[in-house]
Chain A
Amino acid sequence: MNKYNLNNSYKAVVIGGSAGSFQGIVKILSQLPPGFPLPIIMCLHRLKHVRNGFVEALSLKSVIQVTEPYDKESIKKGGVYLAPSNYHMSVELGNYFAMSTEEMINNSRPAIDITLGTAAYVYRDKLVGILLSGANRDGGLGMKHIKDKGGLTIVQEPTECMIDTMPRAAMALTKIDHVMKVDLIIDFLKELDKQYR
């Protein structure tokens, strides 16, 4: 038995974050084990009308190149994906992405609830959901969907968050399996990686 009671049945990792999450995300991406076996699907709040720059900034230190997928692009093992600006990003049955320009949710497009909720529907108990620092409630409901389908839920330790509204919203809505600082989240992902070796 390993320390987080993990196995190799997981199919994807989804990460949500908003205000104050950038540093944490960069740290996670920079310390990922090379050849990390699962797709990492990220939905981060970002400026709606700045299309360029964010994915480049994340890629700078990332072990794996980050991409903003196109509508109907297949989700590949080992890919690191970021929801593009001004689109909601869904995961579809058949393992691909779909974009939409529907109304904002919690004042956000992309909305974390949509990415997490659709990923939960597709991957069910084979999903790890991680929610980081943020100043609004978006993502809380998405984490609840993940838990309800039997997935694993992790939030960033509120005391470490620049703004803890987002992880606390998730903690109020559902059972969170692990409350962790970013360093421990990295340790967790390394442990997860080992299950596939």
Chain B
Amino acid sequence: MSDHGTPGRTDVVPVDQHDQHGDVELVGDPIADPGLHEHQPRPTDVDERAEKRAERQVAGLFGLSALFTILFVVSYFAFGVGDDTTVIAGYGASTVALGTCLGMALLLIGVAAIQWARKLMSDVEIVEMRHPAASSEEDRETALTSFRAGVDDSGIARRPLIRNAMLGSLGLLGLPLIVLLRDLGPLPGDKLAHTVWRKGMRVVNDIAGTPIRPEQVEIGQLINAEPSVFYEKNGEGEPKFEGVTLQQAKAKAAIIVVRMKPSDITPSKGRENWGVEGILCYSKICTHVGCPISLWEQQTHHLLCPCHQSTFDLADNGKVIFGPAGRALPQLPLAVDGEGYLVAQRDFDEPVGPSYWERG
């Protein structure tokens, strides 16, 4: 609105606007241009003493910052790292001193700069007018002319052989990008649908790797377990699973074993013989996004996922009773082998872990 506004001036003349928009007859001015406030100087602008005081404040803040920087260097040499770890509120003298000194040094520089700008730097109201974003006609004309001159000079229109060869070579550069995508593969195939569990494979305690007898498991017990194959060695004395292979296999085969009162369990049809005297085994991988779950309430028989609060009822075939999980927790059928240890009847009947496209 205020085309004629200049810094510190409020005398915008509405008559000019009437002239510019000659065809529109403005009756008065519906929303009057308030213009700029009358400029009021700060105390530091008019009071010599206030100005001096502000100057001392800013200099003092910078000086204090310098002092903290020096204290930082001093405390670096004065306090040993790790020797006195519980000196100041249990945090260690070195940690507290270094952090406080460096923090204050930086903060005080910032505070001084703000104080300087607010109290002492120039204090005038400024109006910045909007202007078109495009370059001037003249500049655009010059740019186009030189571009056309370049095109003519290269003779690209006259030499189709060169042009086509260039376009071909540039186009072919897209091929490496596509070829490199192959490294994202190969597709997993049906690997997601299977785990290392096999018929007769023993259920062992995670970390310790000890096999489990049903009579060792008490009602209300939770065992974080793994297949025994992770603790077995091959013919050369090396572990059968190692490194990334071990982690990948573990991520699918991890299980939890729980024991409940047999009278509390309501197996669905076909699952009547999947447990051993109230001992049931479920996948440890949440069917929502695959967090490992072992947060088990022994009295309610609920298994909770700490990530998104999906809750499974282990007494009722791993049914989802709360949360975002879409499928019941896969159950591993258990049996007892000739030596009396818990073993798997077979692999899981369904893929463990979160859903994926091909699963359907």
A joins B in a complex: no
Chain B residues within CB distance 8 Å of chain A: none
